[in-house]
Amino acid sequence: MSELKDIGITTRKEDDFSEWYTQVVTKAGLIDYSPVKGFIVLKPYGYRIWEIIKESLDKKLKESGHQNGFLPILIPESLLSKEKDHFKGFTPEVFWVTKAGDTILPDKLAVRPTSETLAYQIFSKWIMSYRDLPLKINFWNSALRAEIKSTKPFIRNSEFLWQEGHTVHENQQEAEEEVLLILNYYHSIIENFLAIPTLKGIKSEREKFVGALYTNTLESLMPDGKALQMATSHNLGQNFSKPFEIRFLGRDSKQYFAWQTSWGISWRLIGALIMIHGDNKGLILPPKIAPIQVVIVPIFKKKDRAIVIEESKKLFAELNSFDLRITVDDREEYTAGWKFNDWEIKGVPLRINIGLRDINNNNLEIVRRDTGEKMSIKRKDCINSLHVYLDQIQKSLFEKAKIIQNNNIVKITNYDEMKKLLNEKGGFILADWCEKEECENNIKIETGADIRLIPFEKYPSDNKCIYCNENSKKTVIFAKAY
Amino acid sequence: MSELKDIGITTRKEDDFSEWYTQVVTKAGLIDYSPVKGFIVLKPYGYRIWEIIKESLDKKLKESGHQNGFLPILIPESLLSKEKDHFKGFTPEVFWVTKAGDTILPDKLAVRPTSETLAYQIFSKWIMSYRDLPLKINFWNSALRAEIKSTKPFIRNSEFLWQEGHTVHENQQEAEEEVLLILNYYHSIIENFLAIPTLKGIKSEREKFVGALYTNTLESLMPDGKALQMATSHNLGQNFSKPFEIRFLGRDSKQYFAWQTSWGISWRLIGALIMIHGDNKGLILPPKIAPIQVVIVPIFKKKDRAIVIEESKKLFAELNSFDLRITVDDREEYTAGWKFNDWEIKGVPLRINIGLRDINNNNLEIVRRDTGEKMSIKRKDCINSLHVYLDQIQKSLFEKAKIIQNNNIVKITNYDEMKKLLNEKGGFILADWCEKEECENNIKIETGADIRLIPFEKYPSDNKCIYCNENSKKTVIFAKAY
């Protein structure tokens, strides 16, 4: 944090995307690395973004009757292995606690990879009759999965912050509605708050959550042509209620197995935010998610210092009483130029420059982070102008991203062409598929791409599987993915 | 949750305090047990109390410039052992991760017992100069310490929710002020929100946090005569900044080691809340901390059902628009009597009974949970009356607890008398002490009591150590403790 250090981003996004990303997450003050490989620390600026995402989802969940709870982080192996497919899916990446102090544990304990098994063992005790349903609980916690491959802050880490929702219902229809309700909450937050366009759809059998009946998903395209899974919402059917014996007395006095859902988003959304909106100066944050929406930077010659600082603080006090996240940078040890760079790297949507001339003219200079545009506004209209510009930035970031994503959804009918495109620039490839897992597997092996989603939106079909040319009923989206 | 189960508390608080406590935490719907011994699950009602405590502290912390962050839960042994005393203090209760999948880890990883070592290794990279100070970060997370002795929900568990604050300062004075500021925040929340009286003071050398310069503490007395440590705030001095090399360039261009503090409260406060206020019907929650402050229960003969339910919902809609946490119990499958019991066990401060006669008379019947008192109020004054009664309950719970605590602070000058009192009824024993650890140790061995705190408040001294009769300068509080 010393002023001597080169604080700017030294790699261009278009030249080395991965190195650019690493520089942005660290130089914008979002994260630091833990001494244990694959684990990261969230600095306050990074954590605040997560808090804002959390607050917005938490509000929606509570309004629709979901409640938060707490589950322990250690899960006995015997419980984790109760749903076989599920266990097989997670076991290679589980961190195992084998000792407490010097004592070796008889049943080793998994550090939470996800909580289905523990939650459902407990739910089975809570649910006796239809009167206890629906049960709709959410947990804000962290999950751990040992990452053997290369790690990437927010995108692939051995521990990540997330929420996991778990609901139990009387019938299949309610579970289906729940899964869609939650998918729509996620969609709304990702598009309206994070300003990231997403595609809605369902996962193929191969790609669904291990143990689920089906998985709904939101997928977005990153600037390097790779897809990122943004959120998933699983209909678990009765796949867990049977092994975990979540049974209830129905309204007709008969016993039934319950219907379940689980769903989650993680801090990976912050990774997407950085990749999608950032530029060569650093982070660009959509106003609705920005920890600081407006920064006031006083600019002065030494002799005018007192008056400019005083006016800046007055302005801050005035604006701070409105519904704005605002700060004034009155640090004495840094130059105005240094401060400009610092707030640009941090992606603060609007900057107010305030100098002696502005004060005398009853004007303020406003700078948009996303376009670099400078505007002179009347001091007395300040609050209105700020809100107008913040709205504009929010909309414009989304629209820009939407256009890029749309331009990179490409309909392909020829497998060689698909391979070529995947090799050269990636993107969302719209292609027909016969629904055979064999074709899906071969495509994955030969191109590295998998089916990201079977989109809800109907796209024109050419009725032939891109791989085997046999009859196809499904138009799906292939992509390489994070 | 079936209506067939006996939902009431079947043991009296005065007969078997421990069994009464266990029944209240489970029957009030606060917790359930994990399949792993010593770990508990928080049901939504229990977690909501924690959320309310969290919100109130978080607000104070943010207002005074503290920010939240995130630290990984796994800490390498090599790092944990860097501050020797600290390591010795925690190592017998650490859960160790030794494997990831099938791979044995070279450096085993501790599941966070507390974060000092990890945080400070990282802080040492963040802090270069006085410009980077003060650094004031808080973490809302969980900590794990294997409990070998008997466990007790909220009071002694192998995993507990807490917050841990960590600050770094330029000089000793700032660290001292920080430690007191935080102690006062805790004091205010515990006394004003949880309605629990506490004593403020400092820990003896033997009882301080391992590695701290000194530990400030808040201690409360539970109804069984045992003390409970409610909150601690540690001045770490330079004890960690030296081994972790947290050094900064001072304003005089010289290098200095930083001054640090750490501090925390945990869900143990919920345990105290239950013990202090609960009665033989169950939980009693102070209004400021109650997830539900007012419950409306419609009471009707079958033929009046429609009108009473309609009026109840109307009342709910009206009150819900005010700043009240309120619910209406319109469940059809339970009788009014069953509902009364249910909400009494759950400790909801006020109940509104609404029946046909009340509707016709434009009255409402209000029942106080703490006293059982029934009051008839005018329908049109409802909101005012509710606020008045909620305030009264909040105050009266605190005052009642304060009188009990004061009556159980007993000045003792004779060691035999002290042993007798500790054996018979416990309590806070005010006694003189020569400051020798030998006397403190012997008292602990012979009576089971330790020095809970050296109180800030001045009490009259008799100038003779209760144990050795030698000169004493300190009047301290002894007690057996949880």
| Whole-angstrom distance, CA of residue A261 vs CA of residue A267 | 21
Instruction: Establish how many alpha carbons lie within 13 A of residue B18's alpha carbon, considering only the half-sphere containing its beta carbon.
Output: 6
| Mean pLDDT computed over A341-354 | 97
Residue B244 inside a domain? The answer is yes
Handedness of CA A105, A111, A117, A120 (dihedral sign): positive
Scanning every residue of chain B, which has its alpha carbon at the shortest distance from the alpha carbon of A58? B51
Give the domain range for residue B117: 17-277
Nearest CB neighbour to B101, from listed A34, A109, A146: A146
A47 with B41: Cβ contact below 8 A: no
Determine the residue among B25, B36, B154 to mutate to test chain A binding: the one whose Cβ has the most chain A Cβ atoms within 10 Å: B36
Same domain, B392 and B413: no
**CB-based contact A480:A226 (threshold 8 Å):** yes
From residue B336, alpha-carbon distances to B45, B297, B316, B365 in Å are 21, 7, 17, 14
Domain count along chain A = 3
Same domain, A216 and A77: yes
Nearest CB neighbour to A35, from listed B3, B79, B158: B79
CA angle B367, B372, B373 (to 5 degrees): 65
Task: Provide, as residue numbers in chain B, all residues whose Cβ is less than 8 Å from the Cβ of A158.
Answer: 72, 74
Give me the CATH number covering residue B417.
3.30.110.30
Give me the CATH number covering residue B364.
3.40.50.800
Task: Provide, as residue numbers in chain B, all residues whose Cβ is less than 8 Å from the Cβ of A79.
Answer: 35
Task: Provide, as residue numbers in chain B, all residues whose Cβ is less than 8 Å from the Cβ of A48.
Answer: 67-68
Would you say residue A328 has pLDDT above 60?
yes
Would you say residue A54 has pLDDT above 70?
yes
Between A7 and B436, residue with greater pLDDT: B436
**CB-based contact B284:B347 (threshold 8 Å):** yes
Same domain, A328 and A218: no
| Whole-angstrom distance, CA of residue B375 vs CA of residue B142 | 43
Between B81 and B39, residue with greater pLDDT: B39
Task: Provide, as residue numbers in chain A, all residues whose Cβ is less than 8 Å from the Cβ of B79.
Answer: 35
- Nearest CA-CA distance, residue B321 and chain A, Å: 14
Determine the residue among B41, B158, B245, B292 to mutate to test chain A binding: the one whose Cβ has the most chain A Cβ atoms within 10 Å: B41
| Mean pLDDT computed over A84-107 | 88
B100 with A94: Cβ contact below 8 A: yes
Residue B66 inside a domain? The answer is yes
B122 with A71: Cβ contact below 8 A: no
Binning pLDDT at 50, 70 and 90, where does residue A3 land? very low
Residue A10 inside a domain? The answer is no
Residue A402 inside a domain? The answer is no
B36 with A71: Cβ contact below 8 A: no
Please choose, from the candidates A264, A21, A279, A300, the residue with its C-alpha nearest in 3D space to the C-alpha of residue A164.
A264
**CB-based contact B50:B42 (threshold 8 Å):** yes
Residue B89 inside a domain? The answer is yes
Of A277, A311, A335, which residue sits at a domain end? Answer: A277
- Nearest CA-CA distance, residue B325 and chain A, Å: 13
Residue B7 inside a domain? The answer is no
| Whole-angstrom distance, CA of residue A476 vs CA of residue A215 | 15
Q: What is the pLDDT of residues A439-467, one digit of tens each?
A: 999 999 999 999 999 999 998 888 899 99
Output the pLDDT for position B4. 40
Residue B404 inside a domain? The answer is no
- Nearest CA-CA distance, residue A109 and chain B, Å: 9
Q: Is A276 helix (H, G, I), strand (E, B) or coil?
A: helix
- Average pLDDT over chain B reads 95
- Nearest CA-CA distance, residue A189 and chain B, Å: 22
Please choose, from the candidates A82, A203, A209, A93, the residue with its C-alpha nearest in 3D space to the C-alpha of residue A143.
A93
Please choose, from the candidates A423, A418, A478, the residue with its C-alpha nearest in 3D space to the C-alpha of residue A206.
A478
Would you say residue A312 has pLDDT above 90?
yes
Same domain, A376 and A350: yes
Residue pairs between chains A and B whose CB atoms are closer than 8 Å: 185
Q: What are phi and psi of A307, to 5 degrees?
A: -70, -40
From residue B476, alpha-carbon distances to A381, B234, B411 in Å are 62, 19, 10
Same domain, B413 and B392: no
Region for residue B394 given its phi and psi (left: phi exceeds 0; alpha: psi -120 to 50; beta: otherwise): alpha
Same domain, A192 and A140: yes
- Nearest CA-CA distance, residue B340 and chain A, Å: 18
Determine the residue among B52, B95, B130 to mutate to test chain A binding: the one whose Cβ has the most chain A Cβ atoms within 10 Å: B95
Would you say residue A373 has pLDDT above 50?
yes
Q: Which two tokens stand for residue B458?
A: 């001045």
| Mean pLDDT computed over A393-416 | 97
Could you tell me how far CA B63 lies from the centroid of its own chain?
21
Residue A403 inside a domain? The answer is no
Q: What is the pLDDT of residues B209-226, one digit of tens each?
A: 988 999 999 999 999 999
| Mean pLDDT computed over B471-479 | 93
A73 with B73: Cβ contact below 8 A: yes
Handedness of CA B457, B458, B461, B464 (dihedral sign): positive
Q: What are phi and psi of A348, to 5 degrees?
A: -60, 125
Output the pLDDT for position B194. 98
Scanning every residue of chain A, which has its alpha carbon at the shortest distance from the alpha carbon of B101? A92
Same domain, A247 and A322: no
Q: What is the pTM of this model?
A: 0.96
Would you say residue B92 has pLDDT above 90?
no
Scanning every residue of chain B, which has its alpha carbon at the shortest distance from the alpha carbon of A128? B2
Binning pLDDT at 50, 70 and 90, where does residue A361 land? very high
Scanning every residue of chain B, which has its alpha carbon at the shortest distance from the alpha carbon of A157? B72
Give me the CATH number covering residue B180.
3.30.930.10
Output the pLDDT for position B266. 98
Of A277, A302, A337, which residue sits at a domain end? Answer: A277
Same domain, B367 and B415: no
Task: Provide, as residue numbers in chain B, all residues whose Cβ is less than 8 Å from the Cβ of A43.
Answer: 69, 126
A137 with B44: Cβ contact below 8 A: yes
A36 with B146: Cβ contact below 8 A: no
Task: Tell me which H or E stretch contains A310.
Answer: helix A305-320
Would you say residue B5 has pLDDT above 60?
no
Same domain, B439 and B364: no
| Whole-angstrom distance, CA of residue A282 vs CA of residue A274 | 9
Binning pLDDT at 50, 70 and 90, where does residue B1 land? very low
Please choose, from the candidates A113, A101, A106, A102, the residue with its C-alpha nearest in 3D space to the C-alpha of residue A73.
A113
Same domain, A305 and A453: no
Same domain, B432 and B329: no
Scanning every residue of chain B, which has its alpha carbon at the shortest distance from the alpha carbon of A248? B2
In percent, how much of chain A has pLDDT > 70? 99
Of B375, B396, B417, which residue sits at a domain end? Answer: B396
Same domain, B190 and B312: no
| Mean pLDDT computed over B156-166 | 97
- Nearest CA-CA distance, residue B460 and chain A, Å: 44
Binning pLDDT at 50, 70 and 90, where does residue A6 land? low
ipTM for this model: 0.95
Binning pLDDT at 50, 70 and 90, where does residue A84 land? confident
Amino acid letter, B396: S
Output the pLDDT for position B6. 60
Nearest CB neighbour to B1, from listed A3, A132, A161: A132
